[in-house]
Amino acid sequence: MKLWQKNTTVSGAVETFTVGKDREMDLLLAPFDVLGSIAHVTMLAEVGLLTKEEAILINKELRNIYRNIHDSPHEGVPGKFTIHENIEDIHSQIEFMLTEKIGEAGKKIHSARSRNDQVLVDIKLFLRNEIKLLATETENLFNLLQQQSEKYKDHLLPGYTHLQLAMPSSFGLWFGAYAESLVDDMISLEAAYKVVNKNPLGSAAGYGSSFPINRTLTTELLGFDELNYNVVYAQMGRGKAERITATAMANIADTLSRMSMDMCLYLNQNFDFVSFPAELTTGSSIMPHKKNPDVFELIRSQANRIKALPNEIMLMTTNLPSGYHRDLQLLKEHLFPALGTLRQCLQMAQLMLSSVEIKKGIMQDTKYLYAFSVEEVNKLVLQGIPFRDAYKQIGMQIEEGKFKVDISQLQHTHEGSMGNLCTAQIGNMMKQVIADFGFEKAEKAIEMLLED
């Protein structure tokens, strides 16, 4: 069944090519298509395009369909619920099921609506939910990093610039750095949420409707913060919301990629800063000594793929004029799987970093001696010697092989340094970002929408 089909039979080759993976992707949109329909039907009754009795009948069955979708062992993808082979998409499937169950009233739910704004609101609701899941996993990793930062704040670690030995650092600083990086990543995710959390429903095919619909009502019913007011822009927003979400995902992925690269280096025998339980590493088919950081290598590669996603979406929408175009269908195939992949990477990073074993006394090795040269320069400066003269004096000691240092005398006290990690302040920044999302409003609206 095709909502647009009349008396012409479409070529099988054309149908296969144009549908592509859309049924598979549409299963992810199934619960959100139902939610959008419940809100739309409620609004149609309010403006007199459906009777109250019809709306009650339709929404009761829509809620049954919603429950059927969620009675599934599969995360996000229904098990019992499917899109029939002869049905084009999720919108047609739900309308078919509804009509099959309640008769003629089911055919009325498409009034004042196009598949264009229907899929738009589905995607907005789906992305809103996915962003919340991403925010939760990002916050979980953040909390772990903060805990590890405090736990290992006294464990010294060489700091590098240009991958050359530079100055003393600590695992407290290392864990804390990636924690604070996630704060900024979360700010960009919040910005994506603000863009996504606007209601396009009622824009129809992209030019509005002559029906006296109430778009403010559907906005409230679905828990959106605001409307996409201009109906043309509502349609143009498809591709843009996905790209902005992908950019926020890429920021988180970049943090994960860099952190994973550090772990791969630190596990290397030439660094030998960390180790992991044997069950979290893999071995070699011919080298019995190997303990490979495969998890971090795969996180790094998956994260780097996600970093390319905003550019993919940008190029797929390049040179599109205003209005709907079938090109936009393909965005789902790139974005939707990446959301699950990024969540999995965040979860695996938590698994690994919660079990990391930090080596003690790393900086006592003489090969790290010169990392303390700046410390000795600073000590001379504190005694009144001009910095340039102190720099030259320590430099001469190094060249003559006379440089010595007492590594127990490190004094770093300013904000964000080894001796003053500002863990609580960074934690407060994250709490504020999480609060600014305002997830509760959407959650409450959806709960009310699903009440019988």
By the 10 Å C-beta count (0-12 exposed, 13-18 middle, 19+ buried), 13 is classed as exposed
User: Which residues are marked as active site?
Assistant: 162, 284
* CA–CA separation, 275 and 279 (whole Å): 12
* CA–CA separation, 43 and 25 (whole Å): 27
CB-based burial, 162-193: b 16+ in 10 Å, e otherwise: eeebeebbbbbbbbbbbbbbbbebbbbbbebb
Give the CA dihedral 50, 54, 57, 60, nearest 10 degrees: 10
Q: Residue 10 has what DSSP assignment? A: P
Backbone φ, ψ for residue 159 (5° rounding): -100, 145
- Give me the helices (H) in 80-170, please: 90-102, 115-151
Neighbours of 202 (CB within 10 A): 26
Sign for the CA dihedral angle at 393, 396, 397, 398 comes to positive
Backbone φ, ψ for residue 314 (5° rounding): -60, -45
Contact in structure between 299 and 345 (CB atoms under 8 Å): yes
- Give me the helices (H) in 152-210, please: 171-196
The angle subtended at Cα 348 by Cα 343 and Cα 350, nearest 5°, is 100
**What would you report as the CA-atom Rg of the chain, rounded to the nearest whole angstrom?**
28
* CA–CA separation, 352 and 245 (whole Å): 26
Q: Residue 75 has what DSSP assignment? A: S
* CA–CA separation, 204 and 46 (whole Å): 18
Q: For residue 363, give the 3-state DSSP assignment.
A: helix
Backbone φ, ψ for residue 50 (5° rounding): -135, 150
